[in-house]
A and B are shown apart, each in its own frame.
Chain A
Amino acid sequence: MCGFGGYFGSVPDGKALLQKMTAAIAHRGPDEQGVFTAPQAGLGHVRLSIVGLGDGQQPMSDATGELTIAFNGEIFNYVELRDELRAKGRRFRTSSDTEVILHLYDEMGEDCVSRLNGDFAFALWDNRRRRMLLARDRMGVRPLFYAMRAGTLYFASEVKALLQVPGLSAEIDPIALDQTFTLWAPIAPRTPFKDIFELEPASLMIADERGATARTYWNLEFPDRDAPSRHANEGQAVEELRALLTDATRIRMRADVPVGSYLSGGLDSSIVSALAAGMAPQGLRTFSVTFDSAEHDESAFQNEMAATLGTDHKAVACQAGDIAKVFPEVIRYAERPVLRTAPAPLYQLSGLVRDCGLKVVLTGEGADEVFAGYDIFKEARVRRFCGRQPGSRMRPHLFRKLYPYLPGLKQQSAEYLAAFFGAGNDPLDDPLFSHRPRLKGTAATKMFFSGDLRARLADYDAADELISRLPDAFGRWHPLHQAQYLESRFLLPGYILSSQGDRMAMAHGVEGRFPFLDHRLVEFAAGLPPEMKLNGLVEKHILREATKDLLPASIGKRTKQPYRAPDSHSFSGRGELDYVRTAMGEEAIAAGGLFNAKAVTKLYEKCRARPASGFRDNAAFVGILSTQLWLQTFTGTSVRTAEAA
C-alpha cells in the first residue's frame, strides 16, 4: 500500500514536481519515498512497507532498466505468480509483489492485469515502447486520478498530488455535484474536480506519442435471467463458496507485518474475523467503533464475537462531538462532498489501528453487494410484490419490517408506506426500478441548489446518465442482479470503497483488505441464482449457510444492520463548532454560489432545533456542509465554479 504520482510528457523540472506530488500524499506512505525520471516520463512513490520490507523500494525498475513501476496496493496471488514465472526461467531480485508485475508485464504486456488477484493501481513506464501504462483493480479498491495539461498526462493516487502541477487548480464540477446529490457519488471518470478524472475500476490507460486511451479489461456480468443456472445444487454451491472465501482470506493474510481485522458486530466482518483468527497462530487483533447512541451502537455484538474468537480487541468510542471535530479532515482526505457522516468514525477507527501499531486490516466490505445484503434489494422485491396488487392494504406493511431502525417509518400507515416507496406506481421495466425511491429521496436535496447552479445544470439528469452507462446485457438480467450491478459498479467504488474505504484508512497509513471482493468470489456469486442470495426476505442466505459453523447463532442469524452514524445531530449541541456556523452561514454560502443562502439558514436552524430530522434534511445538511468544506479546502477563499458541460 502506498501512493504515487507521475507524468508522461514534457515537464521542465520533473524531479522537483514529483517531490511535491509525493509530499502531498505522504500520509499514504510514511515509510519511504522515491522518484524516477526519464526523458518525457516521471514517477514518484511514497511507501507503506508491507511486503518485501527490505527490498521493495519504489519506483522499481527491472534488470534491464527498461521497465519501471510505481505501484499502490497488493497482489495477493504474487506467490503463485512468482513460482510460475520462476518456472519459466525468470529471476527475481526482490521478495516483493511489485517485481512480479514487472516480470508479468514483460511476458504479457498490458494483459498482465488479467492474471493479478489484488487491489492495485499502478503506473508502468515502458521505455522500449515509449509508453506509460496506468491500471486499476477490478472493483475499484485503489484510487487513480489523472489530468491532461498542455499535452502532458499527469496522474496520482489522490487529487491533492495533481493540484501540485502548475496550472492545475481546483474548480468544482457542477455535474459532479448534481450526481453526488442524486447518486451519492460522481459517475467515474468524472470527479468533483473539473477537468480531473479518475481511471474507472477494471480499466487500463495507455499513453504514448499518439495520445492516451482507456479501456476496461474486466466486466461484472450476470447470467441472463432465463438461462439455466450453473449452480442448481445449493449444497455444492455452499461448499464452493466456503472454499473460495477461505482462500480469498488466506491470501489476504499475506504480509511481512501483522494483519488485523475490523469487527463491526455484523455478519460479514464476523465471518472474515473468524476465518482470519483460524489462520493467525499468533492471535488476531480486532478493531471496532462504538457509539453513544443505542440506535448506532453494536458493541454488544462486537464484544461477543471478540470473546468467541479470543481476539485482542480494541474499540474507539465515537462520542457526541467527535464527528464534527474530525469532519474537515475527513473531507480533506475524501476529496469529495458526501451526504453521510459515516466516513468520520472510520477515520477514527483507522487512527486506532495505527496507534496500535498495525498497518493492515481485513474488512467485511463488499459482502452486501456480492451476496445481496442491503435493504435496498429487499425493498425492491417488496415494491414489485406490492406492484402486483397496487391497492393492497396488507402488502405495504412489509416495508415496516425492512426498516425497523427507522422510527419515522414505523408509525406510518400502509397507504403512506406504499406512497413513499412508489409501490405500484413505478414502472417495473425501469432499469433503475430498484433504486428509484433512493434516487428520488436523495435528489430532493437539490432543492437547496442556488438559482445560478440550477441554471447551469439546466435539464441535466444524473439518473439518465446512469442509465446510459449500463451494459447492453443489463435488460436481460434478473431484477436482483440489476440492482446488485448498480450497487457494485457505481456506489461501491464511488463511495463505499473511496470515501468510507481507501481514503479514510490511508489518512492514517492503514491498508484495508477485502476478502469478499476477491474477483473469483465476485464472479462466482454473480453466477448464483438470485434466491440463493436473497431468499424470500432473508439476505445473504448462502453466505449464512456456508459460514454457520463459524459464528454464534446470535450473530449468524442477525438481520442486516446498516452501518450508520449520527448525521446533522453531530453538528449541533455539544458538537457545534465555529467552522460549522461559518461554513453554513449566509456569507460563505453566498461566496460559494452553489446553494440558496436563505434556505440553508433555515435548514441549519431546523436541524439545530430538532436533531431527529428526516433523510432529506440530514443528507442536505451533510452534503452542503461537506461541499462548503470542499470549497474551502481545495479552492480557498476565491471560490469559483466551472461551467456545466
Chain B
Amino acid sequence: MTETIKDSVKAFIIENFLFGDTSYELADTASLIENDIIDSTGVLELVAFIEDRFGIAMADADIVPANLDSLARISAFIAAKSAVPVSA
C-alpha cells in the first residue's frame, strides 16, 4: 500500500513539478523546497492532489514541511491519514 502511495506521489511530482524529467534522481528523503522542486503555489497543488487522489481532507495544521517536504514524508503522512478510521 505504502509503495503504491509512494509511486503515485512520485509520478505526480515528476509529471507536475519536474515536467516529465524521469532522469532527475528524486531521493525519497530529498527536500522538495531546498531542491527547488516546489514553490508556494506548488504546495497548494500538492495538497489538492493528495485530497483528490487519496480522499484525505487536509487541515491547515497538516500543511507543514514535516508532513510534505519529501517523498518519504508525504507517503508516510498519507499512509497514516488513510489508516485512521473515520469516526461516526
Contact = CB atoms under 8 A, between A and B. Distances in A.
A598 B20 contact: yes
Contact of A413 (B16, B33, B36, B63): B63
Q: Which of A413, A447, A603 has the most CB of B within 10 A?
A: A413
Nearest to B32: A419
B65 A415 contact: yes
Contact of B39 (A443, A448, A596, A615): A615
Interface stretch (B2-10, B40-48, B71-79): B40-48
A255 interface: no
Contact of A419 (B16, B21, B61, B69): B69
Interface stretch (A314-322, A428-436, A518-526, A606-614): A606-614
A598 B64 CA distance: 32
A579 interface: no
Contacts of B19: 447-448, 596, 598-600, 602-603, 606
Given A447-B21, A599-B19, A416 B64 contact: yes
B16, B39, B44 interface centre (most CB from chain A within 10 Å): B39
A558 B25 CA distance: 46
A191 to B, nearest CB: 27
Interface in A398-443: 406, 408-409, 411-413, 415-416, 419-420, 440-441, 443
A413 B42 contact: no
A613 B41 contact: yes
Interface in A573-620: 596, 598-600, 602-603, 606, 612-617
Interface residues on B, range: 20 to 34
B15 interface: yes
A599 B21 CA distance: 7
Contact of B66 (A406, A411, A415, A440): A415
Contacts of B64: 413, 415-416
B60 interface: yes
Interface string B16-39: 101111000000000001001001
Contacts of A617: 41
A148 interface: no
B41 A612 contact: yes
B36 A412 contact: no
A237 B18 CA distance: 52
A91 to B, nearest CB: 64
Nearest to B24: A447
Given A419-B69, A447-B18, A599-B21, A411 B39 contact: no
A444 interface: yes
A444 B34 CA distance: 11
Contacts of A441: 36, 39
Nearest to A441: B39
B10 to A, nearest CB: 16
Q: How large is the interface on A (under 10, 10 to 19, 20 to 34, 35 or more residues)?
A: 20 to 34
Contacts of A613: 41
A419 B33 contact: yes
A420 B41 contact: no
B66 A416 contact: no
Interface in A378-413: 406, 408-409, 411-413
Contacts of A599: 18-21
Interface string A89-127: 000000000000000000000000000000000000000
A599 B42 CA distance: 17
B7 to A, nearest CB: 19
A408 B33 contact: no
Contacts of A606: 16, 19
A600 B20 CA distance: 10
A413 B20 contact: no
B41 A615 contact: yes
Contact of B21 (A412, A596, A615): A596
B65 A416 contact: yes
B20 A412 contact: no
Contacts of B61: 413
B18 A412 contact: no
Given A411-B44, A598-B20, A606-B16, A416 B63 contact: yes
Nearest to B41: A614
Nearest to B16: A606
Given A412-B63, A419-B69, A602 B41 contact: no
B52 to A, nearest CB: 13
Nearest to B47: A411
B42 to A, nearest CB: 6
Nearest to A399: B40
A416 B44 CA distance: 11
A408 B39 CA distance: 9
Contacts of A615: 39-41
B40 A409 contact: yes
B12 to A, nearest CB: 12
A420 B60 contact: no
Contacts of A600: 19
Given A413-B64, A420-B33, A447-B19, A614 B69 contact: no
B42 A614 contact: yes
A613 B44 CA distance: 10
Contact of B20 (A443, A602, A614, A616): A602
B57 to A, nearest CB: 15
A598 B65 CA distance: 30
Contact of B36 (A409, A415, A440, A612): A440
Contacts of B16: 606
Nearest to A617: B41
A411 B41 CA distance: 10
Given A413-B60, A415-B64, A420 B39 contact: yes
A441 B33 CA distance: 10
B40 A444 contact: no
Contacts of A416: 40, 43, 63-65
Contact of B40 (A420, A440, A443): A420
B37 to A, nearest CB: 8
Nearest to B62: A413
A412 B40 contact: yes
12 contacts: A408-B40, A408-B41, A409-B40, A412-B63, A413-B60, A415-B64, A416-B65, A419-B33, A420-B39, A420-B40, A614-B41, A614-B42
Given A416-B65, A602-B15, 20 more contacts: A408-B43, A411-B60, A412-B43, A412-B63, A416-B40, A416-B63, A416-B64, A419-B69, A420-B40, A447-B18, A447-B21, A598-B19, A598-B20, A599-B18, A599-B20, A613-B41, A614-B42, A615-B40, A616-B36, A616-B39
Interface of A: 406, 408-409, 411-413, 415-416, 419-420, 440-441, 443-444, 447-448, 596, 598-600, 602-603, 606, 612-617
